[in-house]
Chain A
Amino acid sequence: MAGITRTSGHYDKETVFPHDREQHNSLDLYSMWTVDISANSTMSGHYARNENPHKALRATELEQQDMSQTTTKQWSAGKLLLVIATVAIVAGATTGLTVGYSVRYEAPTTRAFYLFNSGLPFDQDVWKMPHDTFSPDRITVNKGDNVVIYYRNIEDTTEDHNFHMDSPYTFDAVVHAGQTENFPVVNTLHGTSDVTIHVNQTATITFKANWAGVFPYECLIHQPTMTGYLVVLG
């Protein structure tokens, strides 16, 4: 068997190549799929010369099988890459177009809300809780939206109101001295979780809705009633 350096597996080496046991035991995984043509071309001839027609025939059959296996497994790099790329492109395009057809998506945008303090018609002293609430008490946006809240303190008394959000949300706030954003700025806050405004003041609150979920916003001065919820759809 001189000349056979590597050959294929998947058959009983002991039966076919009884005297080449050591040589075949040293084969690695990849040589299972790798054939040395010059070596194989001499295999059946070798057995023929040793007058073992059954083994020679079997070896020839196995060579043919392995050559066909080898041909499919051993594509050139260019051909292999071309086939993989084609399959990947077809699969990717099919999936992507199906998703595009069946799923509705709204790109992030800027959403503005006007937020006011409000009051329920009950006596705070009798009910032992503040009658103040937010209006609206639900703000719904999509994840990724830029949120702008124009917060107005419309009390007819001298009561302050506050806007607070817990982690992970923080916001920027600009407080104006009057009822609109045209009034002078009296306070500017960055990355804060809390802003307080006096009567007839306006705060412009901005943040990006980066986290999906339901997050409370509260006036810490009027708990537990003055609480609203930011709903971020993910």
Chain B
Amino acid sequence: MQTVKNSGMLRWSAVALLFIVGFLDIYYGNSYAGFFESLWYVMGAIYIFTGAVIASDFEPRFAQPAVFGYAVFLLVLWATTAIGTGAGLDIVAYVDKAIEAVLAVNLALLVRNARGPNLLR
């Protein structure tokens, strides 16, 4: 019962974070990026879409790990691009990526909670 409750909380917090990061990405692309801002729009739109998918609980065993992978991918992509070019090193990007890191942890906990430690659960 507790696991189900935790799972629900983790799912809704993930949805909230996905929407926050999605809109922040779009805002950043519009106002700050100055570097492939169209990509920020796309990244934001995908986050909002995945937020809706996680909220609807559609295929959670696939969707939750996939969104986790997407968040980690973008986090690493931003870090390595920033190292290589100096792009995206400002306060909005830092806030955006900090929330993204929290989101990745949230999703990891959600996946772990939903699947449980048992291999054949």
Q: Does B bind A?
A: yes
Which residues in A have some Cβ–Cβ distance to B below 8 Å? 30, 34-35, 37, 70, 74-78, 80-81, 84-85, 87-89, 91-93, 95-97, 99-101, 103-105, 107-108, 142-144, 210, 212, 234
**B interface, over-half SS:** helix
- Pick from A70, A75, A89: contact of B76, CB below 8 A: A89
Q: Which residues of B contact A95 (CB under 8 A)?
A: 77, 80
A-B contact count (CB 8 A): 104
Among the listed stretches B12-20, B42-50, B61-69, which one makes contact with chain A, having 4 or more residues with CB under 8 Å of it? B61-69
Contact B108 A81 (CB under 8 A): yes
Closest CB-CB distance, B83 to chain A, in whole Å?
6
Question: What's the Cα separation between A143 and B31 when bound, in Å?
Answer: 9
A93 and B80 in contact (CB under 8 A), knowing A84-B68, A144-B32? yes
- Pick from B34, B66, B111: contact of A234, CB below 8 A: B34
Contact A78 B112 (CB under 8 A): yes
The 6 closest A-B pairs by CB, nearest first: A100-B84, A96-B80, A92-B76, A144-B34, A88-B72, A105-B85
Q: Which residues of A contact B111 (CB under 8 A)?
A: 77, 80-81
The digit string for B19-63, where 1 denotes a CB below 8 A from any CB of A, is 000000000000111110100000000000000000000000100
Contact A96 B77 (CB under 8 A): yes
Contact A97 B84 (CB under 8 A): yes
Contact B76 A88 (CB under 8 A): yes
B68-105 interface with A by 8 A CB criterion: 68-70, 72-81, 83-87, 89
- Pick from B37, B85, B116: contact of A77, CB below 8 A: B116
A99 and B85 in contact (CB under 8 A), knowing A77-B117, A84-B68, A92-B76? yes
Question: Taking the complex as formed, is B120 at the interface, i.e. its CB lies under 8 A from any CB of chain A?
Answer: yes
Question: What's the Cα separation between A212 and B37 when bound, in Å?
Answer: 10
A35 and B84 in contact (CB under 8 A), knowing A88-B70, A89-B76? no
Question: What's the Cα separation between A25 and B30 when bound, in Å?
Answer: 51
A76 and B73 in contact (CB under 8 A), knowing A99-B84, A142-B34? no
Most chain B CB within a 10 A radius of its CB, from A30, A84, A93: A84
A74 and B119 in contact (CB under 8 A), knowing A93-B80, A105-B87? yes
- Pick from B33, B73, B112, B115: contact of A91, CB below 8 A: B73
Question: What's the Cα separation between A97 and B120 when bound, in Å?
Answer: 39
